[in-house]
């Protein structure tokens, strides 16, 4: 910086773009925070409205009978998360100690036998429970991708490759992530995700063989132009990739991409009655072979690798 020049103070623009002021806020002079009215004119920065506190006084809490049912699986997942990362947000009680938001967290902390962090929202009822539950939005796959592609994460280079792969081939997330994970020829791999999806959401995903993934990605992209509805189905993609690795050495014909694309488009009706993976595999072979000379037909081994 040159001597004598003053630097301009930078400010963060957090005003949402092109969003009109909600009608109920126009001319407002106060708002409610955790059941407490706060006057805007008398507002002070870092003003204390309601302190979060800790308790193990479970018997004093009441579960709302008209709230959603408890999901035991969610409780176990939350307990594992809290054990590893701590309780990242307090539950909400009203002044009667009825649990307005966070009933699964209460059970998780009971399971771990640790105190629960809570705040009091005066006057809150099941109405606020519904509002809070409906306002919550889970992270989507693209949110995880954006997060871990940022330079702040040590594995960002890998996630940038994932993003580039998805952009290039236009396949759905499950198909893309399993191709990149090297699960492309495993039974039903494109429909579940399993450990690959878990690693992706934790920021630890590693691409096994990018060149091989690109090979199948290119094939499916080409096929997508002919039978887009089929390529959206995970079991179809599993069959398409796996069948190529299962061509029998005794087969009269060999797999031809040109032939396969034409046959899938021509014989797409063969897949109408498919349900489990075995039926998709069988339909793939049937669609490929339909109307071909014996020397061009393929036979496959019974089991996937």
User: What is the residue-level pLDDT of the chain in tens, covering all 305 positions?
Assistant: 445 555 454 555 555 556 666 665 566 677 676 677 767 666 676 566 667 888 989 899 999 988 988 899 999 999 998 888 888 889 999 999 999 999 999 999 998 888 899 999 999 999 999 888 888 878 889 999 999 999 999 999 999 999 999 999 999 998 999 899 987 655 544 444 568 888 999 899 999 999 999 999 999 999 999 999 999 999 999 999 989 988 877 777 788 999 999 999 999 999 999 999 999 999 999 999 999 999 999 988 865 44
> Which residues on neighbouring strands pair with residue 91, listed in sequence order?
118
Length of the chain, in residues: 305
Using an 8 Å Cβ cutoff, are 287 and 263 in contact?
yes
The first and second tokens of residue 32, run together, are 């409610």
Cα–Cα distances in angstroms (integers) from residue 126 to residues 37, 72, 97, 137, in the given order:
20, 21, 13, 19
Question: In whole angstroms, what is the distance from residue 232 CA to residue 39 CA?
Answer: 53
Question: In whole angstroms, what is the distance from residue 180 CA to residue 213 CA?
Answer: 5
* Helical segments of 4-95, H only: 72-85
Question: In whole angstroms, what is the distance from residue 260 CA to residue 228 CA?
Answer: 15
Q: Which residue is it, tokens 């198909």?
A: 175
The first and second tokens of residue 276, run together, are 């489990």
Contacts with 161 (C-beta within 8 Å, 6 or more apart), sequence order? 180, 207, 210
Please report which helix (H) or strand (E) contains residue 17, including its range: none
Report the 10 Å Cβ neighbour count for 65: 6
List of domains in the chain: 29-135 (3.90.1530.10), 141-296 (no CATH)
CA dihedral 107, 105, 129, 123 (to 10 degrees): 90
> Which residues on neighbouring strands pair with residue 99, listed in sequence order?
63, 93
pTM, to two decimals: 0.71
């Amino acid at each position: 910086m040159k001597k004598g020049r003053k630097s301009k103070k930078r400010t963060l623009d957090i005003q949402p773009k092109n969003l009109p002021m909600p009608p109920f806020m126009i001319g407002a002079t106060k708002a409610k925070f955790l059941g407490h009215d706060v006057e805007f004119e008398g507002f002070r920065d870092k003003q204390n409205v309601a302190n979060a506190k800790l308790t193990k006084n479970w018997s004093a809490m009441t579960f709302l009978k008209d709230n959603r049912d408890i999901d035991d699986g969610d409780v176990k997942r939350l307990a594992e998360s809290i054990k590893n990362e701590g309780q990242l947000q307090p539950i909400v009680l009203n002044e009667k100690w009825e649990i307005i938001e966070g009933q699964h967290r209460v059970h998780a902390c009971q399971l771990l036998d640790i105190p629960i962090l809570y705040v009091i929202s005066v006057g809150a009822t099941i109405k606020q429970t519904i509002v809070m539950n409906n306002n919550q939005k889970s992270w989507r796959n693209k949110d995880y991708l954006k997060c871990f592609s940022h330079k702040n994460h040590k594995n960002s280079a890998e996630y940038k490759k994932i993003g580039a792969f998805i952009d290039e081939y236009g396949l759905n997330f499950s198909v893309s992530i399993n191709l990149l994970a090297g699960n492309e020829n495993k039974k039903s791999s494109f429909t579940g995700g399993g450990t690959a999806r878990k690693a992706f959401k934790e920021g630890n995903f590693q691409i096994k063989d990018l060149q091989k993934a690109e090979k199948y990605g290119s094939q499916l992209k080409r096929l997508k132009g002919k039978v887009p509805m089929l390529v959206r189905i995970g079991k179809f993609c599993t069959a398409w990739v796996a069948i190529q690795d299962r061509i029998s050495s005794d087969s009269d014909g060999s797999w031809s991409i040109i032939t396969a694309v034409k046959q899938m488009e021509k014989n797409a009706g063969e897949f109408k009655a498919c349900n489990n993976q075995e039926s998709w595999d069988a339909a793939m072979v049937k669609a490929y072979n339909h109307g071909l000379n014996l020397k061009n037909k393929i036979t496959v081994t019974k089991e996937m690798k």
